[in-house]
Amino acid sequence: MYFSSWEAYTHCFNKISQILAVFFPSLSFMSFPTVSLQRVFSFSLLPLKNFNWHLTLTRLFSSRSHYGSRNSISAESFYTSLVEKCTHIIHLRQIHSQLYTNGLQNNGFIITKLIHVSSNLKEIHYARQLFDEFPDQYVFLWNAIIRGYSMHNMFDSVVEMYSRMQQAFVSPDTFTFPHVLKACGSLLAKHYGRAVHAQIFRHGLEEDVFVQNGLLSFYVKCDDNNLARVIFYGLSNRDVVSWTLVISGYAQNGQYMEALSIFRDMRKSDVKPDCIALVSVLKAYSDVEELNQGRCLHSLVIKMGHEFEPDLRIALTSLYAKCGQVSAAKSLFDQMKVEDVILWNAMMSGFAKNGHANEAMELFTEMITKSIQPDAVTIQASALASAQLGSLDQARWMDNYVKNSKFGGDVIVSTALIDMYVKCGSVELARDLFNQTVDKDVVVWSAMLMGYGLHGWGREAINLFNEMKDAGIHPNDVTFLALITACSHCGLVEEGWEYFLSMKDYGIEPSEKHYAGVVDLLGRAGYLEKAYNFIMTMPVEPGVSVWGALLSACKIHRCVTLGEYAAEKLFNLDPLNTGHYVLLSNLYASARMWDGVAKVRVLMKSKGLNKDLGYSMIEIDGKLQAFRIGDKSHPRSDEIYKKLEWLEMRLLESGFVPDTESACMIWTRKTKR
């Protein structure tokens, strides 16, 4: 006996499912004390213990058999309805055993339903057992098991079952192909997916909207956006899923302008975008830093009533943060009381990329306090913030934190930490970390090369590049940029030029950054005419970085005429960048052309531009102190300036002569002796 009392027994029957009441309206005369079988409880609430459910099912099924002639409910409908209410595999197994008792074990419709529910309950192995035991080959059975594997991201098994399906000469239908295409896309199985595409045509299913969307998703995942676009514009019925697939595909593959172009077409077609499409478009606006259009989309989000959707709020936070609107991003961040690491990463990255390093580190500390598990993106943002702070102690703390976390062997995180040490001034610690990194890929090697380059360690960079080749690592575009930078900073002109020419040997097409690096290489060494001729023969239109490198070289060598020409190009390309005006002013100052300095000052004023005052930082007792020219905001500023005057006197006594030519337009001071 499974019950301690008759009351407990009758209590269970008081709760039998309403579905049985619908199936057995004629059973109202069957009753236990104080209860009838019409008062039933949901099958999903059935206890797994302390109740002989198998015995109860047997009685109910027997009752149904006895009274079945008095209602029109078929056995198939009865069992499938019970299966749909199952919440545990024990229920499924007991119902399956009843199928054998009632001779229904070969009913394909019921077995298909069992496979579906088993998959939903994450009992995929039991689903496969049901499939393997079934004697006949029905397409809906194959679809059920393929769907189950697809649900659980077991894509190799999806492809395997589809291959077996073909070998069994079972024709796939419109429910088969979307799951198979999803598997091919996730596995990046381009050739197999294209073969599936051909089979879709052979079976005449190319016009089905679900199959078409599956094809779109496959080609997008395999980075074949051109073919995806051809398929998309060939669709007779483009629904919101079709539009979203193409937009998100372009956005995920970094083709943001194409994503935005298709979104504009979507708006013209009067198809309302869903949240997934809006998130993808916001990501595109973020990465191209199109703030105004992003704000317009924010208005659309509010108009559509999606402003409280978490994914959209995260995307909006990222948009404003990447576009420099840190206050707006922080406002959205504060409104979301969720501990989502993606949201925190968006805010941290925004702080770090906009120079708010302290705020980024405070947020990282708060994450740890709230036990929000960071990911690799979190560590990258924290490393960037630590690099901006320039504190070696902070960098060491960050390194120790990573070593004691699950990210200790992560190559991406190691790359970020190497860059952090380099920017904090310790190439040695960066190299130590580089040596400790196992399975170094080209990104890690390039980060270390760039570290040598920025610090002018040209020979060390060349030696490391040779080690890289010996290790069988194929260089990329960043590798050569690092090499050219290293050679530029230490005067290795011939070596840098040879590395630039050798890029094509590795199948790498130079970008504007590489051309700018060569201009810097030649210009720093005083070959200004060669640098200018190099620019004039470039196969691409020279941009801001190229002309900026030439202007910097002209400043170093006081070449005013060529510098003015480069500055004119910069003012046309980037008229609101104060750095270009200041650099030209410094060129005039170094040549003692004070009229030119005044002219630049007037030009800046007419455009409403002000030079952002730089600042220096010093770490004292583990705390960073920042100061600017003429800054008296520190509470001990009087003591600081007295100490500064004392240091100036010692420097002058030692024969040091400061270079103040470039500082003439900022402030004038009397030299005290």
pLDDT confidence of 103, banded at 50, 70, 90? confident
Which pLDDT value is given to residue 55?
45
Which pLDDT value is given to residue 654?
76
pLDDT confidence of 299, banded at 50, 70, 90? very high
State the CB neighbour count (10 A cutoff) for residue 220: 25
Which pLDDT value is given to residue 612?
61
Please tell me the number of Cα atoms within 13 Å of 398 on its side-chain side.
33
pLDDT confidence of 17, banded at 50, 70, 90? very low
Give the tokens for residue 177: 């192909």
Q: Is the pLDDT of residue 48 over 50?
A: no
Residues 479-511 have pLDDT tens digits of 999 999 999 998 999 999 999 999 999 999 999
Q: Is the pLDDT of residue 64 over 80?
A: no
Can you tell me the mean pLDDT for 213-242? Answer: 87
Pairing of strands 615-620, 35-36: unpaired
Q: Is the pLDDT of residue 608 over 80?
A: yes
Can you tell me the mean pLDDT for 240-247? Answer: 88
pLDDT confidence of 248, banded at 50, 70, 90? confident
Which pLDDT value is given to residue 36?
30
CA-to-CA dists, residue 76 to 16, 135, 390, angstroms: 20, 18, 72
CB 360 within 8 A of CB 352: yes
Give the tokens for residue 448: 């270390």
Can you tell me the mean pLDDT for 307-333? Answer: 91
pLDDT confidence of 666, banded at 50, 70, 90? very low
Q: Is the pLDDT of residue 560 over 80?
A: yes
Which pLDDT value is given to residue 154?
95
Which pLDDT value is given to residue 196?
95
Q: Is the pLDDT of residue 519 over 90?
A: yes
Give dist(CA 109, CA 98) in Å, integer: 15
CB 476 within 8 A of CB 488: no
pLDDT confidence of 96, banded at 50, 70, 90? confident
Which pLDDT value is given to residue 416?
93
Task: Give the start-to-end residue ranges of the domains of the chain.
Answer: 617-673
Our CA angle for 520, 524, 527, nearest 5°, is: 95
pLDDT confidence of 228, banded at 50, 70, 90? confident
Q: Is the pLDDT of residue 266 over 50?
A: yes
The DSSP bridge partners found for residue 625 are 618
Q: Is the pLDDT of residue 340 over 90?
A: no
Which pLDDT value is given to residue 13?
40
Give dist(CA 526, CA 208) in Å, integer: 66
State the CB neighbour count (10 A cutoff) for residue 234: 10
Which pLDDT value is given to residue 567?
95
Helices 177-186 and 139-151 cross at an angle (nearest 10°) of: 30
DSSP 5: S
Q: Is the pLDDT of residue 586 over 80?
A: yes
Which pLDDT value is given to residue 165?
94
Q: Out of 54-58, 117-121, 392-396, 658-662, pick the least confident.
A: 54-58
DSSP string of 351-401, one letter each residue: HHHTT-HHHHHHHHHHHHHTTPPP-HHHHHHHHHHHHHHT-HHHHHHHHHH
Instruction: Classify residue 588 by burial, with Cβ atoms within 10 Å: 0-12, 13-18, 19+.
Output: buried
CB 418 within 8 A of CB 430: yes
Helical residues (DSSP H) of 525-620, grouped into ranges: 528-536, 544-557, 560-573, 578-590, 594-606
Instruction: Compute CA 317 distance to the chain's CA centroid, rounded to the nearest angstrom.
Output: 14
Which pLDDT value is given to residue 480?
96
- What is the sign, positive or negative, of the torsion defined by CA atoms of 625, 630, 634, 639? positive
Residues 349-407 have pLDDT tens digits of 999 988 899 899 999 999 988 888 999 999 999 999 999 888 888 899 999 999 988 88
Q: Is the pLDDT of residue 67 over 50?
A: no
> Please, what is the average pLDDT of the chain?
83
Q: Is the pLDDT of residue 93 over 80?
A: yes
Can you tell me the mean pLDDT for 157-175? Answer: 94
Can you tell me the mean pLDDT for 513-539? Answer: 96
Q: Which amino acid is at 263?
A: F
Which pLDDT value is given to residue 1?
38
Burial letters for 252-267: b for 16+ Cβ neighbours within 10 Å, e otherwise? bbebbebbbebbebbe
The DSSP bridge partners found for residue 623 are 620
Give dist(CA 198, CA 206) in Å, integer: 9
Can you tell me the mean pLDDT for 206-226? Answer: 89
Distance, first Cα to last Cα, the chain: 106
CA-to-CA dists, residue 339 to 177, 319, 326, 335, 348, angstroms: 38, 19, 19, 12, 14
CB 549 within 8 A of CB 515: no
Can you tell me the mean pLDDT for 128-153? Answer: 91
Q: Out of 364-373, 421-430, 652-661, pick the least confident.
A: 652-661
Q: Is the pLDDT of residue 639 over 90?
A: no
Can you tell me the mean pLDDT for 454-482? Answer: 94
Which pLDDT value is given to residue 364?
93
Give the chain's length: 673
Q: Out of 483-487, 556-560, 627-631, pick the least confident.
A: 627-631
Give the tokens for residue 538: 């470039």
Q: Is the pLDDT of residue 34 over 60?
A: no
DSSP 620: E
Which pLDDT value is given to residue 177?
96
Residues 436-446 have pLDDT tens digits of 998 899 999 99
Q: Is the pLDDT of residue 285 over 60?
A: yes
CA-to-CA dists, residue 213 to 190, 222, 242, 419, angstroms: 16, 14, 6, 42
Helix (H) or strand (E) holding 113, with range, is: helix 108-120
414 or 54: which leads in pLDDT:
414
The DSSP bridge partners found for residue 329 are none
pLDDT confidence of 667, banded at 50, 70, 90? very low
Give dist(CA 144, CA 142) in Å, integer: 5
CB 320 within 8 A of CB 346: no
